[in-house]
Amino acid sequence: MTHVLPALPRYAPFITLLVTFGIGGCGGSDCEFPAAPEGTTVYVCEGADGEGTSDDPYGSLALAVDEAPDGANVLVSAGTFAENVTIRRAVKIIGSLDTVIAAPAPHAIIVDGASGVSLQSLHVLNPTGAGIWLKNGAVATVVGSHIEGAKNPTGYGVVAVGSSVTLQQTMVTGSASVGVYLVDSPVAIIDDGDIVGNAGGGVRADRALDVQILHSELANNADFGVLFADSVGIIDDGKITGTEQGSAAGDGVIVIGQTMQSNVQLLHSLVEDNDRIGVLFTGDAVGIIDDGDIVANGTTERAYAVTGGAGIWIQDGAGALSKAGIQITNSVLRANHWGGIALFSGAHATVSNNQILDTQAGNPVGILSGVGIPGDGIGIFNGSIAVVEANTIDASARAGIFTVAAGGATTLGGNTLTANQYGIVLQDQTEMITLLGDNTYGQNAAVDDVTMFGASDPNRLSQMGVDETGAATALEVPTVGEIPQ
């Protein structure tokens, strides 16, 4: 049967106990097997040619899987097995840490419709196509394994289509395309995993209903660290770092709502040193970022030439269908380039109790050729609406808060703005916004408190005790296009 895939460091291994059996059929050497769990067990040893017992093991993993009854354990010695394996019943394959699957044909391991499958301590090396592929409602757990170097065409480390997968203490590295690709998956869990150095992205979820990425590191992937498209998920205690510009932008986390709403929570996580955006919400997307560290994204040296980057970028109506919008709370955003938090094109957000520090100018070879793109702590542009309350915004290259034609219902209150070039700048502000009198200003270099520019109408500003500053020549504000999806 021809199988066609859908189009598109640290390692804590699962430690198994080893028991030694003398096996005459293994080239005269001993084979070491993991300790057998309860239940029916068959054995596999490289070079053997037996009947699957501990003293007369199979030499083929594929044969052992085919012969094993439903619910059986398949214990595999160290060695290299140059074969493809298809699993159609509930079996538990337990390797010996140095058990290598070097499949000669595309798709090294296929789990086809079987539930209760477990793959432990396997090294799937340089597969063509998929390292592990779940299909037709399969349910499988992969523990303490390494899927390495999946090659084109497709080149996915792990792919689950209409199937559920759990990866525990597992590495997926060096894939030619996406490391872990989830399509219509009911449940997908990545726990204590390392998804590193994959050329088409770390983890991608399309129409996945429950994606949980827990205590895991996604590092040095190209295009994106994690992409949620029309999916629901959570990242908790994660590290998404070093995402590089490949064929696409180089964003840490992307949340896109296209044909249905995406809803993602990013909790207690580090998002650092990604080439363009740390976290991007676009389209019909909602979500929460809480207790995060969003650090040094969109760096001047590597920023994407169209936009320059940002810590968090919200666009194209993201958050508009949620009462509170995208919620960003209790987080530290530090040393991001172009913007700490930027809202464009009708986006909605609540930004409260954050520290937004040292936002830097973006890439000078971006959309304003030869001009350093200013760095705002928070930017609210083009009909976007934000409630910005109780934040500390310090040392921004341009303004602590900058609005250009922000939408009505925008509220700025209770913020502390210090050591920015400008405190708050309102440009072309014709919609009514509320600027509360409890903002605190200090040592902002050019204008300490509030500056109005361009077509801003003072009569459309509900100031509540804040003095306005006179008009002046408009600051440079780039017309930023939509980020390609």
Q: What is the pLDDT of residue 434?
A: 83
Q: What is the pLDDT of residue 35?
A: 87
Number of H helices, E strands in the chain: 1, 45
Whether 372 is covered by a domain: the verdict is yes
Q: Is the dihedral of CA 345, 346, 349, 351 positive or negative?
A: positive
List the chain residues with pLDDT less than 50: 9-29, 303-306, 365-372, 463-485
Whether 378 is covered by a domain: the verdict is yes
Structure tokens at 335: 């040393």
**What is the separation, in whole angstroms, between the first and last Cα of the chain?**
35
In terms of DSSP bridges, do strands 18-22 and 30-34 run parallel, antiparallel, or are they unpaired?
antiparallel
Residue 383: give the domain boundaries.
Answer: 274-479
Whether 348 is covered by a domain: the verdict is yes
Whether 26 is covered by a domain: the verdict is no
Evaluate the omega torsion of the peptide bond into residue 153 and state whether it is cis, within 30 degrees of 0. Answer: yes
Q: What is the pLDDT of residue 302?
A: 55
Whether 399 is covered by a domain: the verdict is yes
Beta bridge partner(s), residue 334: 295, 357
Triad 437, 441, 446: Cα angle to 5°: 120
Q: What is the pLDDT of residue 380?
A: 94
Whether 42 is covered by a domain: the verdict is no
Q: What is the pLDDT of residue 300?
A: 54
**Shortest CA distance to 431 belongs to which of 406, 450, 411?**
406
69 and 93 Cβ atoms separated by less than 8 Å: no
Read off the pLDDT of residues 61-104 as tens digits, 9 standing for 90 and up: 999 999 999 999 999 999 999 999 999 999 999 998 799 999 99
Q: Round to whole Å and give the CA distance between 179 and 177.
A: 7
Structure tokens at 83: 């074969």
Structure tokens at 221: 């992937």
Whether 296 is covered by a domain: the verdict is yes
Local structure of 54: helix, strand or coil: coil
Local structure of 275: helix, strand or coil: coil
**Shortest CA distance to 388 belongs to which of 377, 404, 398?**
377
Beta bridge partner(s), residue 280: 254, 313
168 and 193 Cβ atoms separated by less than 8 Å: yes
Q: What is the DSSP string of 137-150?
A: T-EEEEES-EEE--
In terms of DSSP bridges, do strands 146-148 and 310-315 run parallel, antiparallel, or are they unpaired?
unpaired
Neighbours of 382 (CB within 10 A): 17
Q: In percent, how much of the chain has pLDDT > 70?
A: 84
The number of domains in the chain is 1
124 and 151 Cβ atoms separated by less than 8 Å: no
Beta bridge partner(s), residue 265: 234, 288
Beta bridge partner(s), residue 332: 293, 355
Whether 163 is covered by a domain: the verdict is no
Could you tell me which residues come within 8 angstroms of residue 77 by beta carbon, excluding any fewer than 6 positions away? 26, 31, 32, 33, 43, 44, 45, 46, 57, 96, 99
Average confidence score pLDDT of the chain: 86
Q: Round to whole Å and give the CA distance between 146 and 136.
A: 24
In terms of DSSP bridges, do strands 332-334 and 151-161 run parallel, antiparallel, or are they unpaired?
unpaired
